[in-house]
Copies of this chain bind each other. A is one copy, B any other.
Amino acid sequence: MAGNTFGRTLRVTTWGESHGTAVGATIDGCPPGLKLTPEMIQLDMDRRRPGTGGAASPRKEPDRVEILSGIFQDTTTGTPISLIIYNKDAHSKSYDNLREIFRPGHGDFTYLKKYGIRDHRGGGRASARETAARVAAGAVARHLLLQENIKVQACTVALGGIKITRHNIDEINRNRLFCPDNEAAALMEERIKKVREERDTLGGVVEVKAYGCPAGLGEPVFDKLDAELAGALMSIGAVKGVEIGSGFAAAAMKGSQNNDAILPTGFASNSSGGILAGISNGDDIVVRVAVKPIPSIAREQQTVNLANEPVTIKVGGRHDISAIPRIIPVCEAMVCLVLADHLFRQRTIQ
């Protein structure tokens, strides 16, 4: 029953399979009057695009986004914005051997259990290719937020067990991993290289921050801002954990350590991650997500086929070593969508 739509006021529906004709998104509820061109969306698309080295996959998709509706003279009109990205470089044949086998760590088994049928080519709808549509829609949300001077930026704070030791925002765009610590980034790249040789893959931690978010966003009780951020980020395939502010570390703290004192000039610390009782407090919003290692590994794994017979599998195809850094713009997109949605929700009571 309809799990492909996100948001209440700004509603995004994505569609499309990895090896189908195209993937796309329809955005309903975008306010009129926003300047919007394909180029403005393409900037985010390009950050998500498979690169040529490091952790990235060799699948080459130009990922050109087209705007099919909702725009008149490069300006949104308030009507639905339909975005489409054609699939160009899908090599379905290379998945033929997967027709009858469930890849460990993938949705092959569960999609078949749920639907009784599955498009086995490249993971079908469960493929990370679906996130191209999220990034396109998220770019529209990003520009809506920028009108209100709200800026969303994600970075890599851990990869393959290597953690950052400093957080220099200026370094984020100075390395391929969007890491705020160039030296840590270099160690991470070494780790990637080594694990590629081992035919294995790596996980990591991404931190997303929102700057300039006004106090008052978020609805109480079930639609708390942190609840919706957690749901939005956990809906990204590779994410296995989400934490806000002090997060899991708070579990071992005392109240006197975790509470943020309030001064006339603002909060003295930010354990809350910018959210109190589910509502933004005007401080930076801080969320971190645990990214699991990509399950497609070029090593032999045990699994079963459709007849439930034991078989081994070595996943070929063209795959990344880590979901990082390509997951970075996806995380940003989801946070942008949540914040824009809540920005408009807040207007209903004003």
Contact = CB atoms under 8 A, between A and B. Distances in A.
A47 interface: no
Nearest to A130: B221
Interface in A122-139: 124-126, 130
A167 interface: no
A79 B220 contact: yes
A20 B82 CA distance: 11
Interface stretch (A52-60, A170-178, A179-187, A292-300): A292-300
B2 A253 contact: no
Interface string A53-88: 000000000000010111010010111111010000
Given A109-B281, A200-B255, A203-B250, 10 more contacts: A2-B29, A4-B79, A78-B115, A113-B215, A125-B220, A126-B220, A229-B234, A241-B251, A255-B293, A256-B301
Interface of A: 1-6, 8-11, 13-17, 20-24, 26, 28-29, 31-33, 66, 68-70, 72, 75, 77-82, 84, 102, 104-107, 109-111, 113-119, 124-126, 130, 158, 160-161, 195, 198, 200-205, 215-224, 226-235, 237, 240-264, 268, 271-273, 275-282, 290-297, 299, 301-304, 308-310, 344-350
The 10 closest A-B pairs by CB, nearest first: A107-B277, A3-B219, A231-B231, A3-B223, A241-B243, A201-B255, A110-B279, A15-B80, A227-B235, A2-B29
